């Protein structure tokens, strides 16, 4: 007669499986979340770059697109230019983006939602500031965590030193201190830590991967 497992042996086995699962499940969930974010950021960049290229066929090189000048708030900051932002978006980008809907939520610019639930908000500074949020309006809405900044620079932004290459005006947000000369990864990592808007440049440099030394906990 075959001898089966005793109740104690079954419980011990289940206990071991439970401990192993408890140890490995957080890692699996973290890696899945990281890959999801990486995929969304890369897909956004590809779609946005394609929209710019398509628009250039109809409207000429983006470097020369007509953009309203930056508005200074009198203290060296950007007061925003809502009307100019919307006009620029409607003329050069609206019909080329594969969006689901436009969200006019007030403030300095306009938001667009995509089929995967991610959003982008446009706002005018020296360049057209493009803020990508991989989980849309959901919290925490923090730069470097679920929000990543990009730029579309016309002549004004290029002359302000914010664009690396006038032939590719849509780009990640690279630190001004090394954008023209070429940033090392150490510079990008340190810049991401101190200035989260530059985290998109670090992720781009790393091949759209969020590596283990990335300074923020993703949510």
State percent of the chain over pLDDT 70: 83
Of 67-71, 72-76, 205-209, the range with the highest mean pLDDT is 205-209
Average pLDDT over residues 25-32: 64
State percent of the chain over pLDDT 90: 53
Contacts of 149 (CB under 8 A, 6+ apart): 129, 130, 131, 132, 143, 172, 173, 197, 198, 199, 200
pLDDT tens per residue across span 110-160: 889 998 899 999 988 889 999 999 999 899 999 999 999 999 999 988 888
pLDDT tens per residue across span 157-192: 888 888 898 888 999 999 998 988 899 999 999 999
How confident is the model at residue 72, as a pLDDT? 72
For all residues of the chain together, what is the average pLDDT?
86
At 115, give phi and psi (nearest 5°). -65, -30
Query: How many Cα neighbours within 13 Å face the side chain of 18?
Result: 6
pTM of the model: 0.83
- Interatomic CA distance for residues 132 and 120, integer angstroms: 4
């Amino acid at each position: 007669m075959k001898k089966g497992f005793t109740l104690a042996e079954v419980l011990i086995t289940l206990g071991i499986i439970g401990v192993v699962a408890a140890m490995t499940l957080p890692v699996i969930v973290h890696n899945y979340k990281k890959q999801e974010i990486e995929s969304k950021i890369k897909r956004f960049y590809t779609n946005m770059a394609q929209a710019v290229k398509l628009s250039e066929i109809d409207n000429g090189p983006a470097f020369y697109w007509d953009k309203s000048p930056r508005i200074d708030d009198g203290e060296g900051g950007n007061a925003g230019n809502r009307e100019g932002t919307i006009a620029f978006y409607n003329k050069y980008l609206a019909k080329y983006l594969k969006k689901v809907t436009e969200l006019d939520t007030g403030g300095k610019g306009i938001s667009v939602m995509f089929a995967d639930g991610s959003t982008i908000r446009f706002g005018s500074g020296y360049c057209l500031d493009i803020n990508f949020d991989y989980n849309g309006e959901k919290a925490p809405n923090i730069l470097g965590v679920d929000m990543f900044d990009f730029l579309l620079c016309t002549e004004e932004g290029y002359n302000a030193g914010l664009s690396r290459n006038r032939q590719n005006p849509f780009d990640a947000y690279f630190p001004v201190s090394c954008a023209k000369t070429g940033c090392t990864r150490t510079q990008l990592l340190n810049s991401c830590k101190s200035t989260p808007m530059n985290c998109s440049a670090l992720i781009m440099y790393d091949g759209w991967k969020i590596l283990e030394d990335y300074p923020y906990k993703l949510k």
